């Protein structure tokens, strides 16, 4: 029987909190249940509170002109029949006997041009006015424009016709509710539509899924699982796979163990990121051994007004791209960005909330969509200038949990699967179970997303030793996640780097790492041994090992897998390494050069300058990949603090000082030297033993085991290659002096017609302390000559044939 209920307003409301009255349909023949077999059709069965059933069928009309809803009550022989009444309405539609046998009562409702998704909410009443409800005592609620959906891919998938598929993994949830919201300011914080997923219809394995024929008119969405409803935490949660997210906003406080703690909420956008024109962009695909890396924080790099950038550009991806000439001047061909995922703004970027979108604050409009475009613009600019973009990533823990008891996404969706130890009591930090299959899939999908959608060239995995362990803390011989990354058809073509630094306990210890000859590592031992040598506290054998590519750590891979650094974003900056050395800084192996903190003593300042030059020199002449930390080229200081939180924005005014011009010029020279002498400094294999000779001051054997010996000379004979021109195949002789006094070094004899050219002496005044081999001012020295290597300095000679 056709509906006689009044027509709805246009457009009709889409809310689960009230019924949607239908339009008056044309007469139909028979119930829709008999013929609801079209593609756009759904069937539902409800149990009633009097042990009966109610069947409902929903079918889309031809041409998308609306929907027909049929309600059928089988086996009802009540005197006076039944009336279908929309929830909240006094009007009713009588149910008439269906033409099919069985004594069923049926009614058909028509919704012409109604916007989907919406729901039909109704009750049944007999002639005496007694209501028939569901077995749970609720009204019958039927979704319209809502389909079963697909379990893959996870997250939101939008089709060209406007349909949307939602899929989320949750093994723990007994039920999932999809919550849709209008735009901000258009309906408040309450969901405009809630779709309760039926576990018998909308669940495949442990994946909950649902499809909506349209999401027009809605702006964002989230999932409610009810897992922590007992704690008063049952707000919508962020889809772990969301690609575009709304800004984090304060939510109500929640009560945990009798304490009120703040909470925040974030929703996923229902819009796909705008299409991006990559043009002819392509990955530079630089060989690993040719990299010169600059580690930077996106915000701090240009946030200071001294950067000269507009306020809405400073501290953003666009600001980073605007300084590309700075990287080119230094000879940098890869930037390693501190984590750019959305993060806890108090704890910092090493405590992320989400893994599929960039931090919205890194864009001019402070929005997710703007950040996506801004980051892609930055990557394209870097690639156009031959610079790769590498990302530091944190997949060992999230900012959920902690003292603030934050629950943003996976902690409330399925914490027991994603995290090693879950539980709201105590609000402990949430540590991810990285080698669990579902967490591993999340991480792999995230990494592929950054490579395929953002054209990122590689990743450095923070707290990498944790990735090797199982939930009990025991080491795994073949960690599933690391092996999957190493052999993934997409990720194995990128740079993959293990970083042992942990932001959880501020540890930084080298760790044996399974690598399959694909994983590189941040070399902590390099930093410590070089610091000890220049402080006069290391065996020269330790320095020799680092100069030759750390064979003790990378013998099965080669020196190109060693990412060397002197300072990093945690610990002392380069200028602080030579300015502070209190008892509290013992683990930093720093030396203040005679006076603690800032100084006006010229002797102290000159020693500090030599030490800075020596640090940079050793970094660039060692086999492996040099990693320059942001600010080390311009004397960036944290006043002796080792805390990451005390790092301030870069002061670009310092770039104009003579000191910075010296340092940046030296870095540029060293980068060019590595490129010109790629046969020695840019190698995938170690130098052969017969091509390296070690000497003391007078060509004698070095005192390897003498802890007081602070002088070492290294003679490198390049491998003979007739295809290499003479200009790039000369011998190198390098002297390292960490003593308090000068040492006279004897230079080895050369073949007749050759002589030594001094290219670097870090003790000399600017600009003479370095020069190219083609410079007319280069210092020439014959073999067996003595050269005074001044205190706390390094000297580099290169042999060259003299034209007759």
Judge if 317 and 299 occupy the same domain: yes
Question: How many domains, in total, are found in the chain?
Answer: 4
Residue 450 in any domain: the answer is yes
250 pLDDT higher than 60: no
Domain hosting residue 456, numbered range: 288-393+444-675
Q: Contact 132/123 with Cβ under 8 angstroms?
A: yes
pLDDT band at 254 (very low <50, low <70, confident <90, very high): low
Q: Residue 75 falls within a domain, yes or no?
A: yes
Same domain assignment for residues 564 and 596: yes
| Domain edge (last residue) among 143, 170, 198 | 143
pLDDT of residue 344: 86
Residue 81 in this model has a pLDDT that exceeds 90: no
Confirm whether 281 is domain-assigned: no
Higher-confidence residue of 335 and 366: namely 335
Alpha-carbon span 773 to 271, nearest angstrom? 57
Instruction: Decide: helix, strand or coil at residue 483.
Output: helix
Indicate whether 342 pLDDT > 80: yes
Both tokens assigned to 41: 């059709």
Q: Which of 143, 162, 192 is the last residue of a domain?
A: 143
**Spatial CA neighbour of 56 closest among 30, 37, 33, 39:** 33
Report, in this order, helix, strand and coil percent for the chain, each rounded to 5: 25, 25, 50
Q: What is the DSSP letter of 605?
A: H
Instruction: Summarize pLDDT for 82-100 with one digit per residue, the tens.
Output: 888 887 666 788 888 877 6
Return the residue matching tokens 């029987």.
1
- Model confidence band, residue 8 (pLDDT cutoffs 50, 70, 90): very low
Phi/psi at 176 (5° precision): -130, 140
What's the CATH code of the domain at 129? 2.60.40
Average pLDDT of the chain is 86
Q: What is the CATH classification number for the domain harbouring 312? A: 3.20.20.80
Q: Tell me: pLDDT of 753 over 70.
A: yes
The conformation of residue 784, written as its DSSP 8-state character, comes to T
**Which letter does DSSP use for residue 23 in this model?**
B
User: 598 lies in a domain?
Assistant: yes
Q: Give the separation between CA 155 and CA 242, rounded to whole angstroms.
A: 6
Range with the poorest average pLDDT among 5-14, 46-55, 132-141, 631-640: 5-14
In a domain, 108, yes or no: yes
Whether the Cβ atoms of residue 388 and residue 273 lie closer than 8 Å to each other: no
Mean pLDDT across 688-700: 93
* 584 and 718 part of one domain: no
Residue 662 has pLDDT above 60, yes or no: yes
Chain center to CA of 396: 12
pLDDT tens column, 597-629: 999 999 999 999 999 999 999 999 999 999 999
Q: Do residues 302 and 349 both lie within one domain?
A: yes
On whether both 460 and 496 belong to a single domain, the answer is yes
Which secondary structure element, helix H or strand E, spans residue 678, and what is its range? Answer: helix 678-681
Are 662 and 603 in the same domain? yes
- Is residue 788 a part of any domain in this protein? yes
**Model-level pTM?**
0.89
In this prediction, residues 732-738 reach a mean pLDDT of 97
pLDDT of amino acid 296: 97
Nearest alpha carbon to residue 637 among 659, 619, 622: 659
CA distances (Å), 739 to each of 196, 608, 744, 763, 791, in order? 74, 14, 12, 13, 5
Lowest pLDDT segment from 126-130, 238-242, 452-456? 126-130
Percent of the chain's residues with pLDDT above 90: 61
Within this chain, do residues 187 and 99 fall inside the same structural domain, yes or no?
no
Q: What percent of the chain has pLDDT over 70?
A: 87
pLDDT number for residue 772: 77
Looking at the structure, tell me whether residues 322 and 450 fall in a common domain: yes
User: 403 pLDDT exceeds 60?
Assistant: no
Q: Same domain, yes or no, for 773 and 733?
A: yes
Encode pLDDT of 500-547 as tens digits.
999 888 778 777 889 999 999 999 999 999 999 999 999 999 999 999
Question: pLDDT at position 540, please?
Answer: 96
* Segment 533-582, tens digit of pLDDT: 999 999 999 999 999 999 999 999 999 999 999 999 999 999 999 999 99
Instruction: Answer whether the bond into residue 178 is a cis peptide, omega within 30°.
Output: no
Given the structure tokens 């959920």, which residue do they identify?
400
Cα–Cα distance, 470 to 479 (Å, whole number): 8
**What is the band of 118 on the pLDDT scale with cuts at 50, 70, 90?**
confident
pLDDT digits (tens, 9 = 90+) for 180-237: 998 765 455 788 888 889 888 899 999 999 999 888 888 999 999 977 665 556 789 9
CATH code where residue 246 lies = 2.60.40.10
Domain boundary, last residue among 143, 165, 185: 143
- 777 in any annotated domain: yes
* 485 & 587 share domain: yes
One domain, residues 159 and 84: no
Question: For position 690, what pLDDT does the model report?
Answer: 93
User: 67 and 172 share a domain?
Assistant: no
């Amino acid at each position: 029987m056709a509906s006689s209920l009044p027509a709805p307003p246009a457009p009709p409301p889409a809310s689960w909190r009230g019924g949607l009255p239908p339009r008056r349909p044309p007469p139909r023949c028979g119930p829709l249940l008999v013929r609801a077999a079209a593609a756009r059709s759904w069937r539902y069965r409800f149990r009633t509170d009097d042990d009966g059933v109610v069947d409902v069928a929903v079918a889309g009309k031809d041409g998308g002109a609306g929907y027909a809803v049929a309600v059928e009550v089988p086996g009802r022989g009540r005197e006076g029949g039944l009336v279908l009444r929309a929830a909240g309405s006094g009007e009713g539609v009588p149910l008439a006997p269906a033409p099919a046998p069985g004594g069923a009562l049926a009614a058909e409702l028509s919704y012409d041009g109604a916007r989907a998704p919406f729901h039909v909410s109704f009750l049944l009443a007999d002639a005496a006015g007694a209501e028939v409800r569901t077995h749970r005592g609720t009204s019958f609620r039927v979704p319209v424009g809502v389909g079963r959906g697909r379990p893959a891919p996870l997250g939101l998938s939008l089709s060209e016709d406007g349909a949307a598929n939602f899929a989320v993994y949750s093994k723990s949830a007994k039920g999932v509710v999809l919550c849709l919201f209008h735009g901000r300011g258009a309906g408040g914080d309450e969901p405009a539509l809630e779709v309760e997923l039926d576990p018998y219809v909308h669940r495949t394995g442990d994946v909950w899924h649902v499809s909506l024929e349209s999401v027009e008119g809605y702006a964002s969405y989230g999932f409610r699982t009810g897992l922590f409803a007992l704690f008063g935490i049952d707000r919508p949660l962020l889809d772990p796979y969301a690609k575009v997210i709304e800004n984090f906003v304060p939510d109500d406080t929640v009560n945990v163990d009798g304490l009120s703690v703040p909470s925040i909420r974030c929703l996923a956008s229902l819009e796909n990121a705008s299409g991006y024109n990559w043009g002819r962009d392509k990955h530079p695909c630089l060989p690993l051994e040719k990299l010169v890396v600059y580690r930077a924080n996106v915000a701090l790099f240009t946030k200071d007004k001294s950067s000269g950038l507009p306020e809405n550009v400073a501290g953003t991806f666009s600001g980073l791209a605007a300084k590309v000439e700075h990287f080119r001047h230094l000879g940098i061909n890869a930037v390693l960005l501190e984590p750019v995922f959305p993060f806890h703004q108090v704890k910092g970027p090493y405590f992320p909330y989400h893994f599929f979108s960039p931090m919205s604050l890194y864009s001019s409009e402070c929005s997710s969509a703007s950040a996506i475009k801004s980051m892609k613009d930055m990557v394209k600019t870097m690639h156009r200038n031959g610079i790769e973009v590498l990302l530091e990533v944190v997949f060992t823990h999230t900012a959920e949990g902690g003292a603030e008891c934050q629950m943003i996404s996976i902690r409330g969706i399925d914490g027991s699967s994603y995290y090693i130890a879950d539980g709201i009591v105590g609000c402990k930090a949430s540590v991810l179970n990285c080698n669990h299959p579902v967490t591993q899939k999340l991480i792999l999908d995230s990494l592929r997303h950054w490579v395929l959608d953002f054209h990122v060239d590689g990743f450095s995995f923070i707290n990498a030793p944790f990735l090797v362990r199982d939930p009990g803390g025991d080491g795994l011989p073949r960690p599933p996640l690391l092996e999957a990354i190493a052999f993934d058809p997409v990720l194995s073509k990128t740079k993959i780097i293990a970083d042992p630094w942990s932001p959880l306990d501020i540890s930084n210890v080298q760790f044996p790492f399974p690598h399959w000859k694909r994983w590189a590592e941040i070399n902590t031992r390099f930093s410590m041994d070089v610091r000890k040598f220049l402080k006069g506290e290391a065996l020269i054998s330790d320095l020799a090992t680092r100069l030759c590519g750390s064979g003790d750590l990378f013998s099965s891979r080669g020196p190109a897998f060693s990412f060397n650094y002197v300072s990093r974003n945690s610990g002392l900056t380069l200028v602080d390494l030579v300015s502070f050395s209190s008892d509290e800084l013992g683990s930093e192996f720093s030396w203040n050069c005679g006076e603690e903190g800032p100084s006006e003593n010229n002797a102290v300042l000159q020693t500090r300058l030599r030490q800075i030059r020596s640090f940079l020199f050793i970094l660039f002449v060692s086999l492996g990949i040099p990693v320059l930390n942001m600010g080390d080229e311009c004397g960036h200081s944290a006043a002796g603090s080792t805390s990451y939180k005390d790092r301030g924005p870069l002061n670009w005014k310092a770039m104009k000082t003579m000191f910075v011009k010296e340092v940046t010029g030296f870095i540029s020279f060293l980068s060019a030297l590595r490129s010109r002498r790629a046969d020695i400094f840019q190698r995938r294999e170690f130098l052969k033993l017969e091509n390296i000779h070690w000497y003391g001051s007078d060509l004698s054997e070095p005192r390897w085991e003498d802890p007081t010996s602070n002088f070492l000379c290294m003679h490198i004979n390049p491998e003979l290659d007739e295809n290499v021109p003479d200009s790039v195949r000369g011998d190198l002789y390098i002297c390292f002096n960490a003593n308090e006094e000068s040492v006279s070094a004897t230079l080895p004899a050369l073949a007749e017609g050759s002589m030594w050219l001094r290219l670097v002496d870090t003790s000399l005044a600017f600009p003479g302390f370095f020069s190219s081999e083609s410079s007319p001012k280069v210092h020439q020295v014959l073999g067996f000559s003595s050269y005074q290597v001044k205190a706390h300095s390094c000297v580099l000679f290169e042999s060259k044939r003299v034209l007759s």
